[in-house]
């Protein structure tokens, strides 16, 4: 997210920050409180210490963050990168996560993870696929980003099945909408994320880091929690936000020069100290760990 130079020239950037608290077809007890604040906090972070111009950051919240609008904004970012108008993309998405039955056969647990948009609604006993964004769709979009372009993604949402340790309280709520009917064959739930390609490789104190693409890939994804955990919507000093986002933004404001690995370590420590049962995961080439957050890094 740094506005320095890339290989001797100025970095051209685009960002999309999405935050959804209110869902048009859902009862209020299923709404969230901190996702819009997440989007605004990421905008302030990008246009503050990371030097993005205001016009380089698009923010979509609540009623404006429909499936059509979010996918359209994502496609605009990818197009800008593809035609050489941007060499650094940032995408942050905060909302409920959910699951739908996998129809393509590419998921071992027979369910697709999905990001809930503001127009989410039921189709009989399932969620309508026309009102959410599947992980397959995010994967396909992000795969179109040229390898020369750095893509930073933060997804503060979750998919949680049975056996949760963290139950809702007056000030903490899981960011998960269970399917209206349990997805057939689902064994467990996983965070909304772009599925990794090669297997994981442990990498120092940051914990497991997955390679997110081929040798030239510069895609970096931070997921707010592990596959068996919930991402929390929580109250901090009288203001709601995502727990992961709260500590991530705080850490990056405190030390914009901290490496990705160090940022991940600090966020995990702060979450644990505040008794949040979630452990953010970083999907990225191992070389990205030693470089400050948002900076390019050498591969190979």
Handedness of CA 57, 63, 69, 70 (dihedral sign): positive
Whether the CB-CB separation of 293 and 1 falls below 8 Å is answered with yes
17 catalytically annotated? no
Q: Are strands 172-174 and 126-127 parallel, antiparallel or unpaired?
A: unpaired
CA distance to 5, 50, 120, 178, 237, per residue, from 114 (Å): 35, 29, 11, 11, 30
Residue 10 DSSP one-character state = E
Whether the CB-CB separation of 188 and 126 falls below 8 Å is answered with no
Rounded Cα gap, residues 199 and 180, in angstroms: 33
Whether the CB-CB separation of 89 and 152 falls below 8 Å is answered with yes
Q: How many CB atoms are located within 10 Å of the residue 138 CB?
A: 24
Q: Which of 35, 158, 225, 244 is catalytic?
A: 158
Rounded Cα gap, residues 115 and 125, in angstroms: 18
Rounded Cα gap, residues 232 and 165, in angstroms: 12
225 catalytically annotated? no
Whether the CB-CB separation of 176 and 116 falls below 8 Å is answered with no
Rounded Cα gap, residues 44 and 50, in angstroms: 9
Q: Which of 88, 96, 159, 219 is catalytic?
A: 96
Q: Could you give the 3-state DSSP secondary structure of residue 204?
A: helix
Give the residue numbers annotated as catalytic, written as ranges.
Answer: 96, 158
């Amino acid at each position: 997210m740094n506005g320095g130079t890339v290989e001797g020239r100025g970095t051209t950037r685009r960002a999309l920050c999405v935050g959804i608290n209110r869902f048009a077809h859902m009862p209020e007890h299923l709404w969230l409180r901190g996702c819009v604040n997440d989007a605004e906090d990421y905008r302030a972070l990008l246009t503050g210490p990371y030097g993005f111009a205001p016009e380089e950051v698009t923010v979509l919240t609540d009623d404006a963050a429909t499936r059509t609008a979010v996918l359209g904004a994502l496609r605009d970012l990818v197009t800008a990168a593809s035609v050489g108008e941007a060499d650094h993309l940032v995408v942050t998405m905060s909302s409920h996560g959910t699951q739908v039955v996998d129809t393509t056969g590419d998921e071992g647990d027979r369910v697709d993870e999905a990001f809930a948009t503001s127009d989410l609604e039921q189709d009989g006993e399932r969620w309508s696929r026309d009102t959410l964004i599947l992980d397959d769709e995010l994967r396909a979009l992000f795969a179109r980003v040229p390898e020369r372009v750095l893509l930073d993604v933060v997804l503060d949402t979750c998919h949680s099945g049975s056996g949760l340790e963290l139950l809702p309280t007056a000030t903490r709520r899981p960011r998960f909408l269970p399917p209206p009917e349990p997805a057939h064959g689902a064994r467990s739930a996983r965070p909304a994320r772009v599925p990794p390609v090669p297997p994981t490789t442990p990498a120092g104190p940051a914990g497991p880091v997955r390679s997110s693409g081929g040798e030239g890939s510069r895609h970096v994804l931070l997921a707010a929690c592990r596959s068996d955990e919930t991402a929390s919507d929580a109250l901090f000093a009288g203001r709601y936000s995502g727990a992961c986002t709260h500590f991530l933004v705080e850490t990056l404001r405190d030390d914009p020069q901290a490496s990705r690995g160090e940022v991940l370590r600090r966020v995990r420590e702060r979450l644990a100290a505040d008794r949040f049962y979630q452990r953010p995961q970083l999907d990225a080439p191992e070389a990205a760990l030693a470089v400050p957050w948002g900076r390019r890094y050498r591969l190979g």
